[in-house]
Structure 1
Amino acid sequence: MRSRTALRAMVALVAAAALATGCTSGSSDSAGPAGRTTATLDSLDPVPVAQAPAPALPVTVRGHDGVDVTITDTSRIVAADQYGTLTETVYALGLGDRLVGRDTAAKFPAVEQVPDITPSGHSMSAEAILNLHPTVVLTDTSIGPRSVQEQLRAAGIPVVFFDPTRTLAGVPGQIQAVADALGVPDQGKALADRTTTEIDAAKALTPADATPPKIAFLYMRGTSITMLAGPGSGADSLIDALGGVDAGTASGLTQQFTPITSEALIAAAPDVFLMMTNGLDSIGGIDGLAKIPGVAQTPAGRNQRVVDMQDGVLLSFGPRTGDVLRALSGALYGTASQ
């Protein structure tokens, strides 16, 4: 008689072969089809709420750091945070033609020719930004170093800090704050209202009779960085909106991100793994994920149940949040997402 370990290995090989041929007809322990499902948006570019609105300047706003900043010129905007949120918001307000610098996370096609001032993903270069001659810099504390942001201020450039927290509830306020700083408050209200409507419509797509799936967000960059999300990660907010239960939080994690251990994953017992596409690919896809300690001992691991989405979109919590939720709902529950 084959050992239990051998049987599990055989099941994993059969599932991997089925996935490779596009067969995902099995079902998971909770929601949607087994195997990997990539959630995609109809368009990666945000839809501007207005075309080239004329900012009403000057304006003075109080940044999240408590500093009052006066903006007199928005003709050359640099937007930089860890998630791409600020760049996305500027573009969706109709001011995309004024962007002269962006962060790495802002990957949508409409801004791919805009210089990336955070090539390492997390660090800004004062020299690179100064060479762009910006008239205003939008940023937050998710990116740095702070000394660079202060150096820009010392050079006479208005630098506005925004709330670095990314939650579903914070999306409308973040949009309005950016719009106010750029002198287009009316466009900010219109964009915030549109985004709220889209979020509400996407949340309504959750099947009423669905058993809430336990979903674990895994953040990975190769096998050297493997993290399990907990409360305050941002992913917990998305998971809740999708009608799911954040597995990391439910298992008792207290940090936003905790290094993955087999004990932590087994305790979380997720039905589904939620991941960024590049992160999943960086470990070798489904096959590589199966080698992470503890994965095979979870319902999600046994079913190879993974929902992934483009890195620059998943946790951006900007004007495309409703589209993100709609796509994730379709991938998670196997339902139409219109």
Structure 2
Amino acid sequence: MRWLALIALLPTGVAAQETPRVLSLGGAVTEIVYALGAGEALVGRDQTSTYPAQAEALPDVGYVRRLSPEGILSVEPTLILAEAGAGPVETVTLMEGAGVPWVTIPGGYDADTVPAKVNAVANALGLQEQGDALAAELAQQLADAQAATPDQPLKVMFVMSLQAGRVMAAGQDTAANGMITLAGAQNAITSFDGYKQLTDEAILTAAPDVILMMARAGEHAVTNADLRAHPALGATPAAQNEAVIRMDGMYLLGFGPRTPEAIRDLSARLSALQPEAG
């Protein structure tokens, strides 16, 4: 009953409105909306949508995978653009039942992902011409970034978190694996898909040359000293040589319009860690 009361707050005649009230859920989706020149249509965003800077002025409806109907309905959207995996399912079902169009933008972890996302967002907004132009531009930038990436046989371990001695790392079929590959390097973890906790034995077997992490502050920050103090990570070539790269999470893993730049950035940092020949 509480949800029904909230649904009643939605604007009437939303289908006939010429200018949609767009709620963007997912950092890359929000970046694409702005890149298409449609930022003025946004009435809300999720916690991962922090770029460009003006997005932070929008009402925040919560974390993209833990959304509540109350948070979504508080901004009275007439169109919801959501990254794959946004939810939970119960919230998505309720919004669809309330007649609010919910468009899921496809995900993926390769060079084709970014243009596909752009076209999906543009089509949902009725901006096909702008979408075609932006998708083509980004496809060329991605091709140029990959062409400029030297072969880098370095083994890279992406560490998602290090808490209470437990290492959560990225395996195959992840955004981290996709970016490591696009930058010309190798994922040190090949034995599983997704993100999982590693045993000390698995860390020592992987023996990464480089540790890649998201740049974090406060209680979530992991210093080089923390890495060296870990019984297994501290024994890896990466920790011993302080070969650690930290990058903004959405910039690195979002697969949005900044991905070509992120590929070049990561590749350059990896190249700087290559041992000198001879």
Q: Map Cα deviations across residues 228-247 of structure 1 (whole Å, 9 max, x no partner).
A: 11110121111111111111
Displacement after TM superposition at 1:168 (Å): 2.8
Higher alpha-carbon deviation: 274-283 or 213-222:
274-283
**Of 68, 75, 96, which residue of structure 1 is paired with 2:20?**
75
* C-alpha separation in 1, matches of 2:165 and 2:115: 35
In 2, the alpha carbon distance for the partners of 1:144 and 1:284 equals: 29
Matches within 5 A, 1:105-254: 105-108=48-51, 109-118=53-62, 120=63, 122-207=65-150, 210-220=151-161, 222-223=163-164, 226-249=167-190, 253-254=191-192
Greater length-normalized contact order (CA 8 Å, ≥ 6 residues apart): 1
From the two aligned structures, give the one with the greater helix fraction.
Answer: 2
For residues 130 and 154 of structure 2, what CA distance do their matches in structure 1 show?
37
Change over 3 Å in CA distance of 1:105–1:71 after alignment to 2 = farther
The residue aligned with 2:215 is 277
Q: Does the C-alpha gap of structure 1 residues 103 and 111 become closer, same or farther in structure 2, counting only changes over 3 Å? A: same
**Counterpart secondary structure, 1:258:** strand
The alignment's C-alpha RMSD in Å is 2.3
The answer as to whether partners of 2:155 and 2:186 remain within 8 angstroms in 1 is: yes
C-alpha displacement of 1:110: 2.1
Q: How far off is 1:281 after superposition?
A: 7.1
Comparing 132-141 with 290-299, which one deviates more in the overlay? 290-299
What secondary structure does 1:312 align onto? helix
Aligned-residue sequence identity (percent) comes to 35
- In the aligned structure 1, how far is the partner of 2:184 from the partner of 2:210? 13
Residue pairs, 1:301-316, within 5 angstroms: 301-316=239-254
* Match status 1:262 vs 2:185: no
Please report how far the alpha carbon of residue 312 of structure 1 lies from its aligned counterpart in structure 2 after TM superposition: 2.2
Secondary structure (helix, strand or coil) at the match of 1:322 reads helix
TM-score, normalising length from structure 2?
A: 0.85
- Which residue of structure 2 lines up, in the alignment, with residue 12 of structure 1? none
Aligned to 1:287, what secondary structure does the other structure show?
Answer: helix
In structure 2, the partner of 1:333 is 271
Q: How much does 1:204 deviate?
A: 2.7
1:272–1:306 CA contact under 8 A, matched in 2:
yes
Structure 2 counterpart of 1:105, one-letter code: T
Residue deviations 1:65-109, cap 9 Å, x none? xxxxx896553111113xx11111111111111111112111121
Aligned to 1:319, what secondary structure does the other structure show?
A: coil
Give the letter aligned to residue 214 of structure 2: M
Distance 1:165 1:211 in 2: 23
Could you say if the C-alpha distance between residues 255 and 71 of structure 1 is closer, same or farther in structure 2, counting changes exceeding 3 Å? Answer: farther
Structure 1 residues 93 and 190 mapped into 2: Cα distance closer, same or farther (>3 Å)? same
Deviation at 1:225, TM superposition (A): 6.5
Q: How does 1:34-113 map to 2 (within 5 A)?
A: 73-81=18-26, 84-108=27-51, 109-113=53-57
Say if 2:149 and 2:264, in contact at 8 Å, map to a contact too: no
Structure 1 residue runs of 5 or longer lacking an equivalent are 1-69
Q: Please say which of residues 164-173 and 94-103 is displaced more in the overlay.
A: 164-173
Aligned to 1:248, the other structure's residue is in SS state: coil
CA contact (8 A) 2:44 2:59 kept: yes
